[in-house]
Structure 1
């Protein structure tokens, strides 16, 4: 499968206040949607697209074909559920229903209502490599137009389409119809808009959210606004869309939108036979929507001042009153710079976690073989695409884990050669970021009892970890993050090399898989077994990281300091490290695993014989993550200890 991203976030046609979703389409490639028998492919799930007078415009039926011969698949005589009146076997558009942990909304599947997880949508789609017949009419209609240009039309004619699993509401074939999606061509046209056209679209969405969405949430969609905009651009001259004509252009689009609602007719830009507003309005709501649209069209100056989204109306009023609103010139470039670096760091973290969770339950030998295969495949792919920086970053994280597995497997065998190989691998992972690779190396020395070298590495981390700059980066799951530090943002803005900067100002979480268990401190090993049988019911597929020990770098660094200084008998340094663990949990807002840090702190408190403080740590941990949390085990052990003593 391939994943493609569409929508406002990709187009740059949104604002923070509009709260646009990241729209993703998952194209399932072992399906082959064809329009002619000559396109049939052996071994694939072939589907013949059917478009006739009985199918809603913009939709199609999918006839199931054989995968071993270009022939129709025979329908069993007792199976009428997937057969039409002509006896053809059709594919239902409900085939993706019941996907794990999702809620269906039209063609989209949503992850919703999971605490600490951002809601996200995706559409499962089947690829169609040739433009459907209904969309080809658009190419002929626009041959003589000034926009889109001939080059743009030619590009659109070669873009692929999708079919997505939703039928026309009220259609006789609703359960068998698949909607034709022209997302690639739409995205291409949006990429070719000028700044005035983009601003016009954003203002339309702001007006929609302020005046329509709250009262009539399922009436006019952002896609309808986009379609209206594209139609308006296509029948006006290009020189009409200038920065000093924004207000006029907005009025034009709002008037067109009003007419569409009044006539209940808004043709799809590419498949004009598809009326987007068919059956969209009830007799009760339509007059109210028209009244609202008449107000924003005829009194658009006042309507703009009433926009609450992003405080737009207030800013506009201040500007009209001659009040200068100062926005630093570097604000937007700085935002883009730190967001790019953050996304790069999180993408690498997520990619590494996916690889590690695939080998987590394997034997050490098989895990090492699979990791080496991962590294080898990445080397080949990145050599082809010349993206050597990405390869180096990913491979170094994996080499660090390879070394740790090798050391864990031989920790009790006194095999000096194996230990030397393990050390060589782990040294390759030291420069990935500020702390995580070094902390794994320090953990290995700590677990072998080499306190001197453990302390030496921890001192190096302390020198490199600038608390005023470095940001934790957790890619295990999605959660709402606080604004990054100003010094972090400034360095991102001043540097033009994200991959180099990653090793100086980012600290991903430290991860141990089960075959590294002997290189993982005992207190952290409990995290590998955090889920009871009951807890598993609260887990999703993406929660496989919970079978590993994962902890944020900074609190784990102070924990290792505490344990090392305890062994060395340095009481003052040990107490200082204990204080720092507690302070980090309280003041660092972007920790991804605060509950794990609290579990470590609680075990330190037990070691200090502070039973009540330890209990409070575990309770706080459970308040953060009520299920799949080893704090339950720690509380049971603590109560057992108290009762027996």
Structure 2
């Protein structure tokens, strides 16, 4: 370890080891991290005859790599979410756009002048802001004349490589909202080809719960470098209120999910509930269902809905399962399967009792049925 520690750290280590010496190494046997204490006891035959279930070094390496990567990309999304939340009080769309543009300019400067780690951070962060700038401009364009300007498309294309799915799904969503179904279907097919269900790991910082790592992701996380690994993760797709014109009608309900009473039951980190947010994979299949329907491709449309049903039932890592169920319910309504639609909305309420647009859908669905 020569040359690995600064003088200050060396002094701290020396003091710690000095304190351990009189204990004849006994504290080492109690170290829980990486099962070091248990491993030492096995080596010293202290735990002879006891069954041990200590993971191999390779398993520890994969687990550590997964945790570090998940934490890194969650931090990236966290910072972007903080910016969206902080700029919601600005006076105009133009001001919101300028704030995000300023961040991109700072990242460009950091990339030019920074060290290796600063350059890497800038490369990972910049595409997300480029995509959100493009979406803001596109929303304004759609509101004015239902088209998307070349400026918006240029920003959206600059953000394509943020991850394997979310930025491309934003473009497909925008094209769908402008009626450009052929191009939307082309991009959705590209996402479908790139998204490997056995490998691609959903990443979201909106909600905390136990993460189930894909076996393929765990394996590849040890092989990819920091920049390449973004091609095996998929962020959730987020649209703030200023981007609402880029969102299909079915997803727009999520922006208005909360009653005044529901808002009282939010946590301090639940500001994402004012946006339309959905996991990438269910949004892919939902957009395919809607797009293929407009292109009069019924077989492909039904296949997309079956895939949507399948991933909702089997994928353990979705953070916005209630939103996926709400989208599926609206697909069922389009199929005139109102009982199945209501079942989707009831299941959605089981996932999230409050701050859930399913309440709106149930009322609307029942009203349509009995009118």
**Residue in 2 aligned with 1:374?**
103
**Residue in 2 aligned with 1:499?**
227
- Greater RCO structure (CA 8 Å; 6+ sep): 2
Q: Aligned to 2:61, which of 327, 330, 333?
A: 333
Q: Aligned to 2:139, which of 405, 408, 412?
A: 408
- Equivalent residues in 2 for 1:468-483, closer than 5 Å: 468-482=198-212
CA distance in 2, matches of 1:235, 1:399: 53
CA distance in 2, matches of 1:568, 1:378: 41
1:352 to 2:80 alignment: yes
CA distance in 2, matches of 1:560, 1:323: 51
Q: Secondary structure at the match of 1:434?
A: coil
**Residue in 1 aligned with 2:127?**
396
Contact 1:454/1:564 (8 A) holds in 2: yes
Distance 1:531 1:311, change over 3 A: farther
Q: In angstroms, what is the RMSD of aligned CA positions?
A: 2.9
Distance 1:402 1:325, change over 3 A: closer
Contact 1:492/1:498 (8 A) holds in 2: no
**Residue in 2 aligned with 1:634?**
361
Give 1:531 shift.
1.0
Distance 1:517 1:324, change over 3 A: closer
Distance 1:236 1:513, change over 3 A: closer
Structure 2 stretches lacking a partner, 5+ long: 1-6
**Residue in 2 aligned with 1:601?**
328
Give 1:477 shift.
2.5
Query: When the two structures are superposed, what TM-score results if normalisation uses the length of structure 2?
Result: 0.87
Give 1:415 shift.
8.5
**Residue in 1 aligned with 2:218?**
489
Contact 1:360/1:548 (8 A) holds in 2: no
CA distance in 2, matches of 1:310, 1:598: 44
Contact 1:379/1:391 (8 A) holds in 2: yes
Contact 1:431/1:437 (8 A) holds in 2: yes
Q: Aligned to 1:566, which of 283, 290, 293?
A: 293
Total equivalences in the alignment: 356
Give 1:353 shift.
1.1
CA distance in 2, matches of 1:552, 1:465: 13
Give 1:392 shift.
2.3
Contact 2:110/2:119 (8 A) holds in 1: no
CA distance in 2, matches of 1:371, 1:445: 22
CA distance in 2, matches of 1:310, 1:538: 43
Deviations 1:67-117 (A, max 9, x none): xxxxxxxxxxxxxxxxxxxxxxxxxxxxxxxxxxxxxxxxxxxxxxxxxxx
Give 1:378 shift.
3.5
Q: Secondary structure at the match of 1:550?
A: strand
- Equivalent residues in 2 for 1:195-274, closer than 5 Å: 234=18, 237=21, 246-247=25-26
1:342 to 2:88 alignment: no
Give 1:465 shift.
0.8
- Equivalent residues in 2 for 1:428-443, closer than 5 Å: 428-443=158-173
CA distance in 1, matches of 2:306, 2:235: 22
CA distance in 2, matches of 1:600, 1:329: 43
CA distance in 2, matches of 1:614, 1:347: 36
CA distance in 1, matches of 2:233, 2:72: 11
Distance 1:234 1:447, change over 3 A: same
CA distance in 2, matches of 1:351, 1:555: 24
- Equivalent residues in 2 for 1:130-149, closer than 5 Å: none
Distance 1:499 1:580, change over 3 A: same
Query: Considering only CA atoms, is the larger Rg found in Structure 1 or Structure 2?
Result: 1
**Residue in 2 aligned with 1:540?**
267
1:445 to 2:224 alignment: no
Q: Secondary structure at the match of 1:431?
A: helix
1:585 to 2:312 alignment: yes
Deviations 1:413-467 (A, max 9, x none): 4487x61111000001111111001000001110010010001001111111111
Point out the structure with the larger helix share: 2
Distance 1:464 1:358, change over 3 A: same
Give 1:365 shift.
1.3
**Residue in 2 aligned with 1:3?**
none
Structure 1 stretches lacking a partner, 5+ long: 1-150, 157-187, 194-228, 252-303
Give 1:406 shift.
1.0
CA distance in 1, matches of 2:20, 2:340: 71
Give 1:329 shift.
3.5
CA distance in 1, matches of 2:268, 2:362: 28
Give 1:356 shift.
1.6
Give 1:360 shift.
3.7
